[in-house]
Amino acid sequence: MTHLNYETRMPLGQAVIDQFLGLRPHPTKIQATYVWIDGTGENLRSKTRTFDRLPKKIEDYPIWNYDGSSTGQAKGRDSDRYLRPVAAYPDPFLGGANKLVMCDTLDHEMQPTVRETRPWFGMEQEYLIVDRDEHPLGWPKHGFPAPQGKYYCSVGADRAFGREVVETHYRACLHTGLNIFGTNAEVTPGQWEFQIGTCEGIDMGDQLWISRYILHRVAEQFGVCVSLDPKPKVTMGDWNGAGCHTNFSTAEMRAPGGIKAIEAAMEGLKRTHLEAMKVYDPHGGEDNLRRLTGRHETSSADQFSWGVANRGCSIRIPRQVAAEKKGYLEDRRPSSNCDPYQVTAMIAQSILLL
């Protein structure tokens, strides 16, 4: 593995870690890392435990608990919260039979969350690689990099910053069996994207959250951080923000002539626009006000619009979809730090419950 020479990289002994992780695994015992979303609705937490043997199906993973008062999810008294496993994936960090386990968090009454299935989703996760002082990777310490234009899908040491993180994350997601669709360098220097999909219904949220967890862990190993802020302060000037475009289709939309169903969906999406904007970022729409300005390949936050091949619209019908008269639509409004469970539920509700 290549190592980055970031000045912030922790002087940890990789060879020592390799020595221990390389030991022959125990014949039956495994480590399961339970992952959940904390009270910010944005950040992830995890803790790990041993099982004497590998659970066969997700229902066999025991419900666990954690201290909700330390994660912004409970008051000091009565602080226990439950973790209910919803999906288990091979762990790309520990390898072997070890698992990453995406969990729902439940209050003391064990309120189950509604789990939606049926339609297909694909989400494009944009993010910025930054150092521990939130300074974007590849940016000069003083002043700004050369203007946007040469960074999108770029190749070369003067314009593509942090590919090591991207490639490692891609492989780790593949190992984990996630439906990772692809990756590309983005418009702002240090900014990248990966896509997850297609996924059916609730699986979209499970997979995107686990892929974010893996991304934060990979970055941690390289001594850098990942910002999902849709418009970090240093990028407030003439730089693209970060979104999480959400692609959607039903069987009807994918069938010949499906463009009719795609166009019909616009009415529902328009009707719920203001409601949707409130759940498309974790701060009730405030994050997106900084990003959806109508400039930098975005629509404006307060107006619904749609169009073919138009990246300045709320909803875009990709050119290829218009040409083939079937396929899917792209909701460009969700912020990079959105909760995919809420976004997919909102889209399904807007379109399917007309």
Residues lying near ligand ADP in the complex (CB under 6 A):
120-124, 181, 195, 197-198, 245, 247-249, 254, 327-328, 330
Q: Is 245 in the site for Mn ion (CB under 5 A)?
A: yes
Residue type at position 166: V
Residue 249 contacts which entry, ligand ADP, Mn ion, none (Cβ below 5-8 A, type-dependent): ligand ADP
The residue whose two tokens read 């900084």 is: 290
Burial (CB count <10 Å: 0-12, 13-18, 19+), residue 276: buried
Nearer to ligand ADP, 194 or 239 (CB): 194
Residue 247 contacts which entry, Mn ion, ligand ADP, none (Cβ below 5-8 A, type-dependent): ligand ADP
Nearer to ligand ADP, 189 or 197 (CB): 197
Q: Is 291 in the site for Mn ion (CB under 5 A)?
A: no
The answer to whether the CB of 91 falls within 8 A of the CB of 176 is yes
All residues at 6 or more sequence positions from 79 whose CB lies less than 8 Å from its CB, including other chains: 67, 68, 69, 70
* The binder of Mn ion chosen from 91, 104, 124, 206 (CB under 5 A): 124
Burial (CB count <10 Å: 0-12, 13-18, 19+), residue 200: middle
Closest approach of ligand ADP to the CB of residue 261, in Å: 12
Q: Which residues pair with 199 in a beta bridge?
A: 121
Closest approach of ligand ADP to the CB of residue 254, in Å: 5
Residue 254 contacts which entry, Mn ion, ligand ADP, none (Cβ below 5-8 A, type-dependent): ligand ADP
Rounded Cα gap, residues 271 and 33, in angstroms: 41
Helix segments in the chain, DSSP class H = 14-21, 163-176, 203-221, 251-254, 259-271, 273-279, 286-291, 319-324, 340-352
Residue 339 contacts which entry, ligand ADP, Mn ion, none (Cβ below 5-8 A, type-dependent): none
Rounded Cα gap, residues 157 and 297, in angstroms: 26
Closest approach of ligand ADP to the CB of residue 194, in Å: 9
Closest approach of ligand ADP to the CB of residue 255, in Å: 11
Closest approach of ligand ADP to the CB of residue 73, in Å: 30
Nearer to ligand ADP, 120 or 222 (CB): 120
Closest approach of ligand ADP to the CB of residue 157, in Å: 24
Q: Is 333 in the site for Mn ion (CB under 5 A)?
A: no
Q: Which of 35, 46, 32 is nearest to 97 (CA)?
A: 32
Closest approach of ligand ADP to the CB of residue 50, in Å: 35
Q: Is 193 in the site for Mn ion (CB under 5 A)?
A: yes
Question: Residue 78: phi, psi to the nearest 5?
Answer: 55, 50
Nearer to ligand ADP, 120 or 139 (CB): 120
Burial per residue of 11-20, b for 16 or more beta-carbon CB atoms within 10 angstroms, e otherwise: eeeeeeeeee
Q: Select from 53-61, 123-131, 207-215, 268-276 the region that touches Mn ion (CB under 5 A).
A: 123-131
Residue 306 contacts which entry, ligand ADP, Mn ion, none (Cβ below 5-8 A, type-dependent): none
Rounded Cα gap, residues 121 and 321, in angstroms: 15
Nearer to ligand ADP, 136 or 327 (CB): 327
Helix axes 163-176, 203-221, angle to 10 degrees: 130
Closest approach of ligand ADP to the CB of residue 245, in Å: 5
Residue 121 contacts which entry, Mn ion, ligand ADP, none (Cβ below 5-8 A, type-dependent): ligand ADP
Q: Is 339 in the site for Mn ion (CB under 5 A)?
A: no
Q: Which of 306, 199, 344, 317 is nearest to 259 (CA)?
A: 317
Residues that bind Mn ion (CB under 5 A): 124, 193, 245
